[in-house]
Amino acid sequence: MTAVAAVAARVAELRASIAAHDHAYYVLDAPTVPDAEYDRLFRELQALEAEHPDLATPDSPTRRVSGRPLEGFAPVTHRVAMLSIRTETDTTEAGARAFDGRVRRELGLADGDPPVVYAAELKFDGLAVNLRYEDGVLVQAATRGDGETGEDVTQNVRTIRAIPLRLTTDAPPPVLEVRGEVYLRRDDFESLNEAARNRGDKTFVNPRNAAAGSIRQLDPAIAAQRPLSFFAYGLGETQGWAVPATHSGVLDALLVLGLPVCHERTVGTVDDLIRFHADIAARRDALPFDIDGVVYKVDSLALQSQLGFVTREPRWAVAHKYPPQEMLTTVEAIEVQVGRTGKLTPVARLAPVFVGGVTVTNATLHNASEIERKDVRVGDTVIVRRAGDVIPEVVGVMPDRRPPGAAPFAMPCACPVCGSLAVREEGEVDSRCSGGLICAAQRKQALLHFAQRRAMDIDGLGEKIVEQLVDAGIVRTLPDLYRLGLLKLAELERMAEKSAANLLAAIDASRQTTLPRFLFALGIRHVGEATAKDLARHFGTLDALMDASVEALLQVEQVGPVVAESIHTFFAQPHQREVVEQLRACGIRWSEGEAAAKGPLAGKTVVLTGTLPTLTRDAAQALIESCGGRVAGSVSAKTHFVVVGSEAGSKLARAQALGVPLLDEAGLLELLGAVVP
């Protein structure tokens, strides 16, 4: 085999492998390789196609996001019209029986004739598209449009990994048009909106709008960033393909060709349709995506042809709806809730409204930026949405219904629970309570953080015990932990005397700690383990740190303006200092003057990547720090060494690009003068 032939064979192998992994992940929901291995195969294919452009093909996985921005969408005339189906709004079983009655009348069936067999499937809440495959390769994707003419959205549809660029068959038909729905999963929709809120960008009203907006982006790179999904549910034009005799058979055949088909479907009589409608209604909130009903279709394609159409709607299909998940109501008040981590969330108190199967009386407004963007005010008529387990939210305002004198809402400057300063850092959209040590809303989270292994390391003080201690009013502040007695603990549910004694012993043992651990345990925003160690080394004593100005804090390595301001704000509040002093009065102690250790790595920054032969990550970090070094999480021009183990990731490539010296475990131990185990 020639070198060129070998490359071509490898390219074909990579494409087939990546396509199989895509199908397993996006269609079968059964990943076959880790993400890192998938990325490695993808990068290898990209490199080979770059070196050999003549081997690049339109159906290559690398072509999913390679299109250029469009000036507009070209019109596409559908060879077979994409018509809508009739909607049955009677959500009871009478809706299904009415459809069956119409079908039987059109077919001329008497009461004693056999029942009609139907296929039932979900009515997805997304954007309908038509995929055209020629000789097995995706050549065009178009929206429904007016049913006769849609828009060419091929570049954007190519970015959806659930849609195969080539059908999985050795004998593809000359033409196969597949129709289906582009949609967003609920969790992906929430993640998309949360990221938008964090950037201060406009959020999407619902998953359907998000899916439609993504497909109609002129820049495919933007569409590629949206986690779109797809389900096939029908056919358009076909040439040279043996079309199955039934609709359910068509879906089974499409699945074999590599197209995703929803497994939530059934085939049977009208009684089966009724059971299916009720079953899906009961499980609607648990589905990972939005639906607004189910669809019934006569299963036999021959009978479909016999029934035909009326006013552009098929007689052989109907959409049987469920109650809507968006409704109008009025805002009676806007209150602010404080979360476990101190985040302040405005909440709209609503006139009760039945939406998504439940009565909703309040809905999240997320943050001040979101309220300002939507301009939500007390008295407004608003659109409320609830879908699945998603917290109800206000997605829009009806400004024409606003009452006179409705004033804009302003976020409070103080925490509504404890009165501490509410801080909104530059570049952030969320306001936060700064009273972490005394705020009742954050009490449980503060205790769990304080007790964790890398902080005060109080073994046995887990979530259930903390819940009981706080709910019973036994522990209100951190110092209360060190005042606990055996009798109080033993009274807790499922807390035996021995367990109580062990917990008290662990609490007592935590009194002897280190300054970095204590600083980390306080839960100061932006102060993680590494920053706590940097602060302890720089200031040496807790008193020096508490009295430090912002300017002095900025002198600490890796401490920037945001972190410095957060630390200064924390210690500037009298109630925070009071808790710290009470903890010291409870006997918590450490060696003051914890200046930077002397050693071969004094003042050096080290990054660890990969798995070392004998040292765990924690052991390697402790060894480096004991010799005066600092372990950082990312590689920069200021990094002095990168210690490399097996399966090293992007940090290794970054170090090589910057010319940072590399060490393996043996080299690290040799540098530190240690003995290899």
Could you give the residue numbers annotated as active site?
Answer: 123
E-assigned strands of 145-247?
149-151, 175-184, 228-239
Residue type, 534: D
DSSP assignment, residue 480?
G
Give phi and psi for 54, each to the nearest 5.
Answer: -70, -15
How far, CA to CA in Å, does 191 sit from each of 141, 159, 213, 287, 346?
Answer: 26, 18, 16, 17, 19
Number of Cβ atoms within 10 Å of the Cβ of 371? 20
Check if the beta carbon of residue 628 is closer than 8 Å to that of residue 648: no
Residue 638 backbone zone (phi > 0: left; psi -120 to 50: alpha; other: beta) = alpha
Residue 122 backbone zone (phi > 0: left; psi -120 to 50: alpha; other: beta) = beta
Instruction: Give dist(CA 213, CA 226) in Å, integer.
Output: 10
Query: What's the first-to-final CA gap in the chain, in angstroms?
Result: 48
Of 51, 14, 49, 60, the closest CA to residue 33 belongs to 14
Instruction: Give dist(CA 492, CA 496) in Å, integer.
Output: 8
Query: Which helix (H) or strand (E) segment is 281 a member of?
Result: helix 270-283
Instruction: Give dist(CA 241, CA 243) in Å, integer.
Output: 6
Give phi and psi for 512, each to the nearest 5.
Answer: -95, 110
- Cα dihedral 306, 310, 316, 319, rounded to 10, equals 170
Check if the beta carbon of residue 76 is closer than 8 Å to that of residue 149: yes
Cβ density class 223-262: b for 16+ within 10 Å, e for less = bbebbbbbbbbbbbebeebeeeebbbbbbebbbebbbbbb
Of 314, 152, 131, the closest CA to residue 235 belongs to 131
Query: Which helix (H) or strand (E) segment is 256 a member of?
Result: helix 247-256
How far, CA to CA in Å, does 593 sit from each of 530, 603, 631?
Answer: 18, 17, 21
Of 300, 333, 319, 514, the closest CA to residue 406 belongs to 333
Distance of CA 624 to the CA centre of its chain: 35
SS3 587: coil
Q: Where are the alpha helices (DSSP H) in 601-664?
A: 617-626, 650-658
DSSP assignment, residue 286?
G
SS3 584: helix
Cross-strand partners of 432: 343, 423
Residue 659 backbone zone (phi > 0: left; psi -120 to 50: alpha; other: beta) = left
